[in-house]
A and B are shown apart, each in its own frame.
Chain A
Amino acid sequence: MKRCRLYKSLFIGLLLSCFINTHLLADTLNDTINSLAKGGFKERAKVIGLMSRLNDDRILNSLEALSAGKLYFRKNNKQVIILKKEDNKYYAKDPVTKSNLGVVQKKQFKKIRVNNRLRRQIKLTLSSLKLRASSPKDRILAATNILKTIDKSALKAIQSQLLIEKNKSVRKAMIAARASVILFNNSSNAKQIQSINILMKYGGREARSVLTRFLSSANPRVKKITENAIKTIDVSLQRWTFIQNVWYGLSLGSVLLLAAIGLAITFGVMGVINMAHGEMVMIGAYTTFVVQDLIKANFSHLFEYSLAFSIPLAFIVSGLVGIAIERGVIRYLYGRPLETLLATWGISLVLQQTVRSLFGPTNQEVSSPEFMSGAFQVGQMTITYNRLYIIFFAVFILLILLILIKKSSFGLQMRAVTQNRLMARSMGIRSDWVDALTFGLGSGIAGIAGVALSQIENVSPNLGQAYIIDSFMVVVFGGVGNLWGTLVGAMTLGVANKFLEPFAGAVLAKIMVLIFIILFIQKRPRGMFALKGRAIE
């Protein structure tokens, strides 16, 4: 069997080399690109190798399209083109001249498949070409790529580019990339040591990776130096790990904060043990899904702003559901907080099943707008945009809420009713309406949290269940009835969790945090920021 395959591949290889040779003679880029349409992955890899040796900038376009899965060939004549989809129509483009070939039928074309190995090869080929790219970001990316893969063939390209490169950070990356190649180029000891020093100064995971790879082939003297260099890099990485843990902790804390903040109102301020809180979050997430779906179908150019529409809508939808719940059920249960637990539990079951019947039980796709995808690098730490925005967003919501409660007349009425209902009523406050609106506010905020969570979580009927317990922990830990407590509580729990996780594992970390909360509450039975005075006894 195996032998048979061997022969087969040999045969194909032979055929291919004949065929490639003829084309080389013809030396037209077009023909080479068209030959991508034939054969399997292995043959394609050879063609790409061939293309890279042409040293022609025009291959950039077609290779990028190939890697992105946009390169197709016509079924009848094997002509290779780039297909682009816009408004449900397919536009063809010539891969070499980039000229438009007009609207075409997709049926006549077949995709040229790539796998990871090909993608890697293309990336490598592109990186030496991209060293000359116009944007410095692309140039850095290309240089780090060479550094990572220690691509010896790129040495010339780097050196010639270094002569003209002015941008400082690009230069730094290129010098490091050059060092990595020199290190592996059987250079003299002195040169190797010089390269090691460059890489050490450059630092980071990539440089460390290059050095560890070098370790096995180094001679004893250089080996020692390499080991020291790795240690130096490790020390700085360690420092970054600490900062990173803090950041991750804050990020987790902000998610907890978002999930808990609505509960801090319905449970913390009003005293309703709102088990349906999670479902309000879920409704917010589904609102986002519906909004995105509508936008995608009708106004696809507005997609980037879908979240801007979703946030107010989620607030309104969840808020209205909340008001309905308050008017329909909870108002009969004031003064019986433990009963509200039971009724809201029933409500949560009903809401879950409603969503399941309406949207089906499977996950719904909520995509992130461009500005929330991806990450940027701060030193040795990756900060993802979505997490960053969520932190800002959570704090922003909290502040708005604080202002609303402390400064607005509605906030004043709300505080009055929760502190002394009878007195508030005799002052002419419609306590019924304040109750309904307060509950609506808490639910609406939960809905907004759902919009944010839809960016990092499953949007499924179970979404709410995943957060309900954590939310209660945060509110109780921070101190019921105190929004600042919720903030500090969420952040503390988040950071604690993230510092425990690396050595205890995710599961144990969570258990330890829970035990910590249980013990903490024994020490301070009213949470971290307990309301003082007689009002709460």
Chain B
Amino acid sequence: MRKKFRTIVGAGLIAASTIMASTIQNVASAADTIKVGILHSLSGTMAISETTLKDTMLMLVEEQNKKGGLLGKKLEAVVVDPASNWPLFAEKSRELISSKKVDVVFGCWTSVSRKSVLPVFKELNSILFYPVQYEGEESERNVFYTGAAPNQQAIPAVDYLMDEGVKRWVLAGTDYVYPRTTNKILETYLKSKGVAPSDIMINYTPFGHSDWQTIVTNVKKFGSAGKKTAVVSTINGDANVPFYKELGNQGIKADDIPVIAFSVGEEELAGIDTKPLVGHLAAWNYFMSVEDPANEAFIKKWKAFTKNPKRVSNDPMEAHVIGFNMWLKAATIAGTTKPDAVIDSIIGVSVPNLTGGYSTMMPNHHITKPVLIGEVQEDGQFEIVSSTPGLVPGDAWSDHLPDSKMLISDWRSPMSCGNFNTSTGKCGGKGK
């Protein structure tokens, strides 16, 4: 009996491996659809944020198909799960492009996942739309950055607080590249505005940090030097809940020491009791509470699509909406979804965003966006307390870092360069 069972298992395994060998090869079916790759983690640590974006993309594709698709063809979403595993991101992007033959990929959340897939997109010459706010310092031919660069989020946020009379700054972040770079930029910027180095405190914590007692106490201490103090938080998603809980419990009110966050949106707040946090701030390019017909229509569709009347929308979702519409428009202009043609035609394309304006794709592959500052409300939404008068174009290379201030990016010919050095007049940074 046991032996028989084993033979069956053995046979099964051999069969499985043959099937495996053939499926990896997965020759793309010649069905007449345009394939859209969706590369967001559905498991692992980042699933918490990225799953929403996958759903957003599915909704957008479905909706476009109802409108008749693109260039007379239907769109087909291809979903894979890179499982919050960075090398797997590279593998999956390669699979999407070379074996599933997608024409465009919407995906990634963390910087490292973007860095991981970047060489693949360059090599196989495809297109990635990256929807999350990030540290900047990058401009690639094959990537379109629909999230905010530091000058579209961090700098206006600090400006707002300075107007509010803040003189002392705590820059608290998770120890990875986005907070490091953002804080470097902010530090230089604050110093250029006359803030003394002793009035800036920088603190880094590991991913998923959950015991905030010491740090919150330190912030309190730092804030009792007689000057108005604010915390600029680049703390990454997961660690925010215990951080805010500790803030609330230790009684740091927004009118004493306001915290302005760059990675806390509606979705993150959905996991917290926001009553003690009312008044703390966040800077984004979109809030669910924006009063605009386009936004209201979008939220309605989103709630219907997810069949959840409590579902919230957030900034990276809007970025995908903008990116998707830009891609549609560019492909329509080019008459094809071939990456080269789309890359050429997308620059200058303007589509309505959800905050009542238009976002335009800049030659540096970043887009123009309004910057909004919102205060947390009891219901987990943000009340917009300030917004930039116009749209802010994304700046790939920060003006506040010594080695990048002379770099510009322009992917239009004849320049066609992501890191043109204005002081040497050559493409490719300092070298050559």
Interface residues of A (CB under 8 A from B): 1, 41, 69, 113, 115-117, 119-120, 123, 148, 205-206, 208-213, 244-245, 248, 251-252, 255, 352-353, 356, 360-368, 373-375, 382, 384-387, 455-462, 465-466, 497-498, 501-502, 505-507, 510
Contacts and interface: CB of A to CB of B under 8 A. Distances in A.
B56 to A, nearest CB: 13
A493 B220 CA distance: 25
B205 A119 contact: no
Contacts of A466: 208, 210
A462 B250 CA distance: 26
6 contacts: A69-B278, A123-B255, A363-B268, A368-B273, A461-B48, A510-B206
Nearest to B228: A120
Contact of A113 (B226, B254, B273, B383): B383
Contact of A209 (B45, B51, B226): B226
Contacts of B45: 462, 465
B249 A360 contact: no
Contact of A456 (B242, B268, B281): B242
A337 B80 CA distance: 35
Interface string B203-225: 11110111101110110110011
B426 interface: no
Interface string B263-294: 00001101111001011010000000000000
Contacts of A455: 245
B51 A361 contact: yes
Q: Which of A120, A248, A375 has the most CB of B within 10 A?
A: A120
Contacts of A366: 273
A211 B225 CA distance: 9
Nearest to B220: A205
A462 B246 CA distance: 20
B363 interface: no
Contacts of A374: 249, 251
Contact of A365 (B215, B246, B270): B270
Contacts of B375: 115-116
Given A205-B220, A456-B242, 14 more contacts: A209-B224, A211-B226, A248-B217, A252-B213, A356-B47, A361-B47, A367-B273, A382-B250, A387-B249, A455-B245, A458-B241, A462-B45, A462-B238, A465-B45
B32 interface: no
Contacts of A251: 211, 213
Contact of A212 (B175, B225, B279): B225
B211 A255 contact: yes
A490 to B, nearest CB: 13
6 tightest A-B CB contacts, nearest first: A363-B271, A213-B226, A205-B224, A367-B273, A384-B249, A361-B47
B196 to A, nearest CB: 13
A212 B226 contact: yes
A397 B385 CA distance: 47
B214 A360 contact: no
Contacts of B268: 363
Given A212-B226, A365-B270, A41 B276 contact: no
Interface string B143-163: 000000000000000000000
A212 B377 CA distance: 34
Q: Which of A255, A362, A387 has the most CB of B within 10 A?
A: A362
Contacts of A244: 217
B42 interface: yes
B360 interface: no
Given A367-B273, A456-B245, A387 B213 contact: yes
B22 to A, nearest CB: 26
B258 interface: yes
Contacts of A498: 213-214
A248 B213 contact: yes
Given A353-B43, A363-B48, A506 B249 contact: no
A375 B238 contact: no
B51 A116 contact: no
Contacts of B203: 505
B205 A507 contact: yes
B272 A365 contact: yes
Given A356-B47, A365-B270, A252 B211 contact: yes
A462 B48 contact: yes
A502 B214 contact: yes
A210 B48 CA distance: 44
Contacts of B242: 456-458
A9 to B, nearest CB: 13
B241 A457 contact: yes
B226 A365 contact: no
Nearest to A505: B204
A120 B255 contact: yes
A487 to B, nearest CB: 18
Contacts of A113: 383, 385
Given A69-B278, A119-B279, A458 B214 contact: no
B249 A119 contact: no
Given A119-B254, A120-B255, A361 B42 contact: yes
B276 A373 contact: yes
A362 B249 contact: no
A522 to B, nearest CB: 25
A117 B218 CA distance: 24
A69 B258 contact: no
